[in-house]
Amino acid sequence: MKMFISIKGMLNIFVSFAFWIWIWIWINLVMSIFLHVFLVWRTFIYITNPMSWPSAQSYCRAHYTDLASVSNMTENQKVDQLVPAGVKVWIGLFRVSWKWTDGSNSLFRYWKTNEPNNCGNEACGAANMKDYGKWGDWSCDWKKEFVCYTGKPWFRYSLGLYPQYKAP
C-alpha cells in the first residue's frame, strides 16, 4: 500500500496548520492585552536616597508611576523582600481616610499594632521592615528611603479612574 499525498492535500494541511497558528497568536495577543490592561501589574523599586514624603512622591511620579500602593499581602511581601531588614520606607499611603496616592481602591491594610495612632501631624504612611513590613503613620517631614512602583493600566487613567492625590 502506497502513501501518497497530493499537492492539494499538502496545501490543505498547510492552510489548516497556518490557520490554527494564527488563531493561537491572536488568542495569546488578546490574553496578553487583557492581563496588562485589566490587571494591575506592578514592579516595585526601592530608592535608597532619603527624602520627605512629599519629595519622595514627586520623585516617584517624575521617574516611575507613584509611591508604592500595596493592595494585598503578596505585594506587601514583595516590598518587604526588596527593602533591607530594619529599614523604614515611605509608601503611598496618607491620612485622608488613609488613601493611596494613586487613588487605587484597596481594602488591604497591614498596620502595626496601635497604628495609625494619628499623633500630632503624622499624616504619611511608612512600612517598617524591622516588623515584617507592617505600616505606621509618621510625620511627612521625616526623611526616609522609599518604594516607588511602575505600571499604569492605561484604561483606568484615560477614563480618570485614578485621581492623583497629594499629601496634606
Q: What is the pLDDT of residues 19-65, one digit of tens each?
A: 778 787 877 767 665 554 555 567 889 999 999 999 999 999 899 88
Q: What is the DSSP letter of 40?
A: -
Domain ranges for the chain: 1-39, 43-158
Residue 3, φ and ψ in degrees, nearest 5: -95, 120
Q: What is the pLDDT of residues 53-64, one digit of tens each?
A: 999 999 998 998
> Max Cα separation, the chain?
93
The domain 43-158 having CATH identifier 3.10.100.10: the answer here is yes
Give the whole-angstrom CA distance, residue 75 versus residue 140. Answer: 23
Torsion of CA 117, 87, 65, 99, to 10 degrees: -10
Residue-wise over 30-47: b if at least 16 C-beta within 10 A, else e? eeeeeeeeeebebebbbb
pTM of the model: 0.64
